């Protein structure tokens, strides 16, 4: 009985680590790997875990007994700073023995760390990131300015609702409506004051790009590559539902105001100046998304530098060398993954918190939301064309990141069979 009680304490603290990682947005592979490391440190001989997007089922074996536990995760969010803190703490225990009480105290300390950014810098990051996206999507000064205001307001509303534990699908729909209405109202106000021509309708989609759930989208793809199908499919289903919620809002407003979502305005800049501006706006967009993921400023800067380099190179390959976009995205994601690994090996930053913001800016959010609006309006052919573009680009991101991990991590390259605990080592209970 004493051995089982001790195992109960050990198993509980390992499960707590898994819950904290899962609620922070970590992939199933990262959750299982970190739990296994901590299990060894606290004296558990064998540890098995089944991780989905909302549940963790574990079985721990030690001293001739075993314990099975199930935990449910109802907090779906992203906290890159917490992921890094937890991963670094677990890595510090490698090759040592840890006392359960000390581990619990360390997890308490990490759990009490508040978000790094208040509502104002958080909303500003959203506004600037979406304004940068508007430029990358062909927008001009008017579109970028109004998009910045609309995304600022939309993110402020989203933060307030999420902190009150509101339903995510309702939050995404309401925030999509809010940002889109602010964009429409801003353009109408400019038209009344400065008589701005009504050729900036397509910018409404850039105004809601802060609602693209890039972190669970990328980690969902990673889960599928790692054969964690339950977690990967669940994450991608969650992402799809959120995108549909925001897409319905854009479609409803475009229908009500009779707006066209086709691109009608292209920024009149070309040559080297264009690529300098693309580098700057890619940096701003990646930095802003890293802030939305609650990454520290140094991590934001590192991820933004990677994103600016690979996204500018991707656009150069696409526009100047005329490589197909999905191929250029795959190469860019591969380089982003390798650069993230290189930086992670020289810092205390994790690979995922560096690579995800860098590749999120390559997710074709505009074609995605435009496809949902076209589909709702019955324009099936245009909707399918846009959806296939999104599918190939997102797949290319997953392929590029996966290859970078396979080239640098044996755990990804080789499928190591797990040993099965010997039944004779376990007690017989009736």
Mean pLDDT, residues 380-384: 85
pLDDT at 420 over 50: no
Mean pLDDT, residues 130-141: 89
Q: What are phi and psi of 42, to 5 degrees?
A: -90, 0
Spatial separation of the C-alpha atoms in residues 18 and 73, rounded to whole Å? 10
pLDDT at 270 over 60: yes
Element (H, E) at 47: strand 46-51
The DSSP line for 290-337 is HHHTT--HHHHHHHHHHHHHHHHHHHHHHHTS---HHHHHHHHHHHHH
pLDDT at 418 over 70: no
What separation in angstroms does the CA of 22 have from each of 26, 68, 272?
A: 5, 18, 43
Mean confidence (pLDDT) of the chain: 88
Spatial separation of the C-alpha atoms in residues 86 and 88, rounded to whole Å? 5
Provide the pLDDT confidence category of residue 423 given band limits of 50, 70 and 90.
very low
The pLDDT, as a whole number, for residue 425 is 44
What pTM was estimated for this model as a whole? Answer: 0.91
pLDDT at 150 over 60: yes
Tokens read off for 291: 């802030």
Residues for the chain: how many in total?
430
pLDDT in tens, 345-374: 888 888 888 999 999 999 887 788 778 777
Cβ burial, residue 329 (10 Å; 0-12/13-18/19+): buried
Spatial separation of the C-alpha atoms in residues 393 and 217, rounded to whole Å? 12
Q: Which residues, in sequence order, are CB contacts of 276 under 8 Å at separation 6+?
A: none
Least confident of 226-235, 296-305, 327-336: 226-235
The DSSP line for 348-376 is S--HHHHHHHHHHTTS-HHHHHHHHHHHH
Residue among 220, 276, 255, 294 at smallest CA distance from 374: 255
C-alpha dihedral sign at 67, 70, 75, 78: positive
Tokens read off for 269: 């800049």
Least confident of 114-128, 137-151, 302-316: 137-151
The pLDDT, as a whole number, for residue 365 is 79
């Amino acid at each position: 009985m004493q051995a089982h009680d001790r195992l109960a304490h050990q198993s509980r603290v390992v499960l707590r680590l898994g819950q904290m990682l899962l609620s922070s947005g970590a992939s199933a592979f990262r959750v299982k790997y970190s739990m296994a490391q901590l299990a060894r440190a606290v004296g558990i001989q064998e540890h098995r875990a089944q991780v989905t997007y909302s549940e963790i089922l574990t079985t721990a074996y030690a001293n001739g007994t075993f314990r099975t536990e199930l935990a449910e995760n109802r907090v779906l969010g992203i906290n890159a700073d917490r992921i890094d803190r937890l991963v670094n703490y677990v890595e510090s225990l490698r090759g040592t023995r840890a006392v359960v009480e000390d581990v619990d105290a360390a997890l308490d300390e990490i759990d009490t760390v508040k978000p790094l950014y208040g509502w104002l810098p958080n909303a500003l990051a959203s506004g600037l990131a979406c304004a940068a996206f508007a430029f990358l999507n062909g927008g001009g000064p008017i579109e970028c300015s109004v998009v910045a205001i609309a995304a600022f307001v939309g993110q402020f509303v989203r933060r307030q609702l999420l902190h009150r534990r509101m339903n995510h699908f309702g939050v995404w729909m309401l925030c999509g409506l809010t940002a889109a209405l602010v964009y429409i109202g801003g353009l109408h106000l400019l038209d009344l004051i400065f008589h701005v021509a009504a050729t900036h309708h397509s910018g409404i989609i850039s105004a809601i790009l802060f609602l693209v759930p890039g972190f669970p989208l990328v980690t969902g793809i990673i889960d599928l590559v790692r054969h964690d199908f339950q977690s990967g499919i669940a994450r991608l289903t969650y992402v799809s539902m959120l995108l549909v919620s925001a897409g319905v809002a854009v479609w409803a407003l475009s229908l009500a105001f009779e707006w066209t979502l086709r691109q009608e305005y292209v920024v009149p800049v070309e040559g080297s100046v264009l690529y300098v501006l693309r580098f700057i706006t890619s940096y701003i967009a990646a930095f802003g998304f890293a802030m939305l993921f609650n990454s520290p400023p140094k991590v934001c800067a590192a991820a933004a530098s990677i994103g600016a380099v690979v996204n500018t190179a991707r656009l150069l390959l696409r526009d100047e060398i005329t490589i197909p976009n999905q191929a250029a995205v795959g190469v860019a994601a591969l380089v982003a993954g390798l650069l993230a690994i290189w930086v992670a090996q020289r810092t205390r930053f994790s690979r995922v918190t560096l690579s995800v913001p860098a590749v999120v800016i390559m997710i074709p959010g505009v074609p995605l939301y435009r496809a949902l609006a076209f589909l709702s309006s019955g324009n099936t052919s245009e909707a399918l064309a846009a959806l296939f573009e999104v599918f190939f680009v997102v797949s290319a991101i997953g392929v590029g990141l996966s290859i970078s991990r396979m080239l640098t991590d044996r755990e990804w390259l080789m499928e190591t069979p797990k040993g099965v605990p010997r039944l004779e080592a376990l007690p017989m209970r009736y």
